[in-house]
Structure 1
Amino acid sequence: MNISKYVTCVICLMLLFGCSPSINDASGYKKAGINEEIPVPANAQSSTDQFDNPNIKKGEKYILKNIGGEQGLYRPKEYFEEIKNWGWEELKSEQNGHVHFFSKGETIISIVIKEDYFQLYEMKEDFEFSD
């Protein structure tokens, strides 16, 4: 194979495999659409999210390949560390399966981790955890 075909092949492979968003990409973080004080991975693709929970003030869904692992069973350790770096405290005692809670001041954020996507919700001010 001559060098120009080789270079073209390598570029095509890079474009094919290098463009899918992944939690492992080192592309940093950006402000979430629902609350500028909480980060989301910069390569996460935002979309609107439907919800009917009366405790939710606003929500957003983010598509991100490899977050949560198979069936969303794994917590995204690096992402949660970044959230803590932004001043949020994880409320581990309130975790319920795929649902994780963080607080900062009077604001509570819920993050639902699934396979290849996550949902980010800002809870209403009068939200209380059920016993």
Structure 2
Amino acid sequence: MKATVGFCIEITEIQGKWKLNQNHPIERRKRVIEGLKREDRYDSGQIARLMEDQINSAQPMSQFSQKGRISLKWKWMLLVAAIAIILFFFLYISPVFSLSFKPSEVDPDFPIPARSERVEKPQADKGWIFYEIRPSLTGKQFDRYLREIEKWGWKERKEEQMGRAHVFEKDGKRMMAVLYPDQISLLPASK
């Protein structure tokens, strides 16, 4: 598979399990606590304190009820984590999957992906304009781009297509477009 494929998973239940070596002998748990206290990791000290609390109290851990349900404190922490993940998705990942368009410099009536930038290729034939697309278009985005060209009023001349070279017409104008997922080459042509 050459394309990134998105999918959704609906979470219907979360079950928490509080495991701090409570099933091991007390001597072993104390050695683990001492080892955690010597570590430099940011959460080692917190885990050691939780294990000490669990040893010192005859009650199960206070963060969870005896039925294994998540306490209100943990529900709020999960809610904050979920909001952070959603914000991360919309701010950083979603733009990769979304696709918007802007007018090309060749012809303002011909769309190009908004995330494309014009590049100079001095060795190329005269008249061609080149755009690089970063990140590259996926298969579905590429299909959507072809549909967007048609939405802007351009009709593809499928009988003239040769591989990635497409020919589009609109209001007496012709546009030759060589389309790759990571670059577009455009050449306005006369009929």
- TM-score tier (shorter): 0.5 to 0.7
The DSSP-based 3-state class of the residue aligned with 1:83 is: helix
Q: Which moved more, 1:105-114 or 1:90-99?
A: 105-114
The DSSP-based 3-state class of the residue aligned with 2:163 is: coil
Name the structure where strand makes up a greater proportion of residues. Answer: 1
Cα distance, 1:38 vs structure 2: 0.9
Contact 2:99 2:141 in 1 (8 A): no
Distance 2:89 2:143 in 1: 29
Amino acid corresponding to residue 119 of structure 1 in structure 2: I
How large is the Cα RMSD of the aligned pairs?
Answer: 3.1
Structure 1 residues without counterparts, runs of 5 or longer: none
In structure 2, the CA distance between the partners of 1:109 and 1:75, relative to structure 1 (3 Å rule), is farther
Aligned ranges 1:24-103 → 2 under 5 Å: 25=98, 27=100, 29-41=101-113, 43-50=114-121, 52-54=124-126, 57-63=127-133, 65=135, 67=137, 69=139, 76-103=142-169
RCO higher in 1 or 2 (8 Å CA, sep ≥ 6)?
A: 1
Instruction: Give the share of equivalent positions with the same residue, in percent.
Output: 19
Cα distance, 1:16 vs structure 2: 3.3
Distance 1:100 1:109 in 2: 8
Q: Determine if the alignment matches structure 1 residue 12 to structure 2 residue 88.
A: yes
The DSSP-based 3-state class of the residue aligned with 1:87 is: coil
Distance 2:108 2:86 in 1: 38
Match of 2:184 in 1: 119
Name the structure where helix makes up a greater proportion of residues. Answer: 2
Distance 2:84 2:141 in 1: 38
Distance 2:189 2:99 in 1: 33
Amino acid corresponding to residue 44 of structure 1 in structure 2: R
- TM-score for both structures, normalised by structure 1: 0.63
- Largest Rg, 1 or 2: 2
- TM-score for both structures, normalised by structure 2: 0.47
Cα distance, 1:100 vs structure 2: 0.9
In structure 2, the CA distance between the partners of 1:34 and 1:9, relative to structure 1 (3 Å rule), is same
Contact 1:111 1:118 in 2 (8 A): no
Distance 1:95 1:88 in 2: 14
Distance 2:159 2:108 in 1: 25
